[in-house]
Amino acid sequence: MRLARSVRWLLLAFVVIIVPLSSQAGVFISVGFAPPVLPVYAQPVCPEPGLMWVPGYWAYGEDDYYWVPGAWEPAPYVGALWTPGYWGWFGGFFVWHPGYWGQHVGYYGGVNYGYGYGGIGFYGGMWRGGFFAYNTAVMHVGVGGGWGDRVYEDRTIVERNTIINNTRVSYNGGPGGINHQPAPEERIADRDQHTGPTSFQAQHENTFRSDHSAYAKFNGGNPQHTALDRPLGGENHSFSNENRGTTEGNIHPSNDGYAHPNNAGTTHQPEQKESNAKPEKKPKPEKEKKDEQH
């Protein structure tokens, strides 16, 4: 047992050495069994201009995987783009590579999270000066006034950067995993200065770490909350070109009660609108952590 544990930590140390040096420090986690498949869900309507979509993902805690729902979050600064985290196979274990903010979207294992994150880069929108514009070919934004030149439609980029994933596998490499190595355009992000998840994202993850219904061993890989139609309680924030990176003001979520389908050509299809998450509880420490450079 001690020998196996020693070998495991040696492998983890080796992974830390080979990951890009441009990444920021984060939590390093490895697991001996694969994460569940990606749930099917519909993206809620963006409640107001300026919020960024962070797709749902399987995290690990309490000796099992738990689902962190997709949600609209404020970017930490003008020009910031989110690179999702992903699970990758290495040395007989599934290793978590945390997500980060940067000026470009980097490699996330080719995992098709949907809604702009089809496996290669991000095609859900772009920064236009001081504000973010949404590609309505994949993003579901509010209706009515106030959007103006904050929306456009480009289906060609969707077709060019989508990795078909009919089995909804949620990891790269290993048995049954996605076979996709970093493309040159994904390497561009290695030169960026990266920052980790915001406090809003940390609160979001911690809430579901302490929610037993989010764990695969309780829900069979079909979590009740797959995506949130509004930010968690206490996350009243907005982002605009006037704020220039601040997180202040209030969100006024859409009340149309409709979960729009994903017409982006990805494997995520509409299911049902999800209800609000449970109140935040004090998170329990994870079993196995190690600081890393990702």
Identity of the residue numbered 213: S
Provide the 3-class DSSP secondary structure of residue 148. helix
- pLDDT above 60: residue 39: yes
Average pLDDT, the chain: 76
Which residue would you say has higher pLDDT here, 280 or 56? 56
Domain-located, residue 22:
no
Domain-located, residue 18:
no
- Please state, as a whole number, how many other Cβ atoms lie within 10 Å of the Cβ of residue 50: 21
Model confidence at 50, pLDDT cuts 50, 70, 90, reads confident
Model confidence at 27, pLDDT cuts 50, 70, 90, reads low
pLDDT in tens, 191-235: 999 999 999 999 999 999 999 999 999 999 999 999 997 766 544
**pLDDT (0 to 100) of residue 160:** 86
Beta strand pairing call for 86-90 and 171-172:
parallel
Model confidence at 38, pLDDT cuts 50, 70, 90, reads very high
**pLDDT (0 to 100) of residue 233:** 52
Number of domains within the chain: 1
- pLDDT above 80: residue 189: yes
Which residue would you say has higher pLDDT here, 222 or 255? 222
Beta strand pairing call for 151-152 and 131-135:
parallel
Share of the chain above pLDDT 90, in %: 57
The mean pLDDT value for 89-96 works out to: 94
Nearest partner of 98 among 216, 207, 196, judged by Cα: 196
The mean pLDDT value for 164-178 works out to: 94
- pLDDT above 70: residue 149: yes
Identity of the residue numbered 158: V
Residue labelled with tokens 């989508």: 162
List the Cα angle 212/217/219 in 5-degree steps.
70
**pLDDT (0 to 100) of residue 21:** 34
**pLDDT (0 to 100) of residue 145:** 63
Which residues share a beta bridge with 63? Answer: none
Domain-located, residue 126:
yes
**pLDDT (0 to 100) of residue 134:** 96
- pLDDT above 90: residue 253: no
The mean pLDDT value for 86-101 works out to: 95
Which residues share a beta bridge with 86? Answer: 97
Alpha helices in the chain (DSSP H): 2-18, 156-160, 184-187, 199-209, 216-219
Lowest mean pLDDT among 156-170, 199-213, 215-229, 236-250: 236-250
Domain-located, residue 293:
no
Nearest partner of 9 among 98, 65, 91, 96, judged by Cα: 91
Nearest partner of 190 among 99, 107, 88, judged by Cα: 107
Provide the 3-class DSSP secondary structure of residue 189. helix
Domain-located, residue 47:
yes
Domain-located, residue 208:
yes
- Please state, as a whole number, how many other Cβ atoms lie within 10 Å of the Cβ of residue 272: 10
pLDDT in tens, 96-142: 999 999 999 999 999 999 999 999 999 999 999 899 999 999 999 97
Lowest mean pLDDT among 42-51, 69-78, 277-286: 277-286
CA distance 99 to 215: 20
**pLDDT (0 to 100) of residue 147:** 83
Domain of residue 183 covers: 35-84+100-287
Which residue would you say has higher pLDDT here, 255 or 101? 101
**pLDDT (0 to 100) of residue 242:** 35
Domain-located, residue 12:
no
CA distance 217 to 64: 7
CA distance 21 to 248: 33
Model confidence at 187, pLDDT cuts 50, 70, 90, reads very high
Provide the 3-class DSSP secondary structure of residue 51. strand
**pLDDT (0 to 100) of residue 12:** 45
- pLDDT above 80: residue 266: no
**Helix or strand holding residue 102 (H, E):** strand 100-102
Domain-located, residue 4:
no
